[in-house]
Amino acid sequence: MPIYEYRCNECNHEFEVFQKMSDDPVKSCEKCSGDVEKLISQSSFALKGTGWYATDYAKKDKSRVAKESCKATSDACAGCPSAS
């Protein structure tokens, strides 16, 4: 369940609330009942370790993909270079 941060416009009190994404946002401060605004906070998501290189998701050779797709179908593709 996500944690949302809010700041009161009246007393500047900052607080966190566990809420479902479908829940309505908090509208009043838990201390003074003043209006609050939702803060944008830094995510705790981080990619660590080795890997995550551009070569991990290399583009496939288009001619090889076309040949494989023609072999997968029972009918020969008209105009396909691998049909001959």
pLDDT in tens, 27-66: 999 999 999 999 987 777 777 777 666 665 655 555 555 5
Tally of CB atoms within 10 A around 32: 14
pLDDT score, position 54? 61
Please report, in angstroms and rounded to a whole number, the separation of the first and last CA atoms in the chain. 56
- pTM for the model: 0.49
pLDDT in tens, 63-82: 555 566 556 554 555 555 55
pLDDT score, position 46? 72
Instruction: Give the residue with greater pLDDT, 33 vs 1.
Output: 33
Q: For residue 24, what are the β-bridge partners?
A: none
Give 3-state DSSP helix, strand, coil % of the chain, rounded to 5: 20, 20, 60
- What's phi and psi for 47, nearest 5 deg? -95, 125
